[in-house]
Amino acid sequence: MEILNLLLPDFSLILLGVLVYRITNWGDEFWAGIEKLVYFLLFPALLFYSTARLKVDLGVTGGLAQTGVLALLAGIVLTWLGKPLLRATPMTYESGMQCAYRFNSYIALALATRMAGEEGAGLMAILLGFGVPLCNIAAVHALAPKNSNLLRELAKNPLLVATAGGLTFSALGLHLPEAASVVLSRLGAASIALGLLMVGAGLRLSGLKESKLVVGWFILIKLFAVPLVAYLIGRHLQLPPLQLRIVVLFCSLPTASSAYILAARMGGNGPFTAFLISFGTLLSALTIPFWLALVH
């Protein structure tokens, strides 16, 4: 019941996003504007606020970061291992590969905050700081191995910039003024609610025209293999209980909706990617409680 109470509010907001999108006629431009507001302003404010207040000690959190990175790398490797074995057109397979390791940052911060308040959000922000560039590099490389703008795109990523800025702020021993803390806190709170509504509004289940075996492979990696690797490595490194829960939660998250945007912009199979994201998000409502119960 404790785990269900943890997950129910946030997945209820996702469901509300589905309903609002279906029963209103606000248009895709409205939702695109909300997504830009969250992605470029509200969510970076939350990441900066969470990390700027966190006392970073690599001796304490180094194992957390190491576990998260190794688990993501395991997911990336598994996608490449499956490519010669599964039948799918190259661009379709490469479009879907990112759905086996990318993660939804909105759900991540929402659940981490519910789980352990500011400390949980700060630990999750560290994982996001390492995970965002790693997963973006892997996804872009799969879709366009010769893309020359990768470093520039990473440097402009608002989530990465906000996390790096917050960690630097904390490392310098600086303190946020009270007024700035209140503003950032309120922006961050808005980002969680709107971000979860956007997850629901973006769910699409009509793009499956490819091999169901490929879908099953990517879902298996994302929702089972990656969190299992995180759990085993975290236990091996004897992570503190909260850190173990946070990193397993991080690795059990469904794919970010931005994976669809990347696939569509780089000439990939957008509808197939959208289906993978949506199907994985729905299944994660069942698999996340399992992983949290395992590390409880």
How does DSSP assign 250-272, residue by residue? Answer: HHTPPPPTHHHHHHHHTTS-HHH
No. of H helices and E strands in the chain?
14, 0
Q: Cβ(159)–Cβ(44) under 8 Å?
A: yes
Query: Residue 259: which pLDDT band, with cuts at 50, 70 and 90?
Result: confident
Q: Note the pLDDT tens digit of each residue in 170-220.
A: 888 888 999 999 999 999 888 888 988 988 888 877 656 667 889 999 999
Report the mean per-residue pLDDT for the chain.
87
Q: Note the pLDDT tens digit of each residue in 12-67.
A: 998 999 999 999 989 889 988 988 898 889 988 988 988 888 776 667 788 999 99
Please name the residues in contact with 155: beta carbons below 8 A apart, sequence gap of 6 or more. Answer: 161
Please name the residues in contact with 288: beta carbons below 8 A apart, sequence gap of 6 or more. Answer: 7, 111, 249, 252, 253
Q: Note the pLDDT tens digit of each residue in 104-150.
A: 988 998 899 989 988 898 899 889 888 888 888 888 777 765 445 66
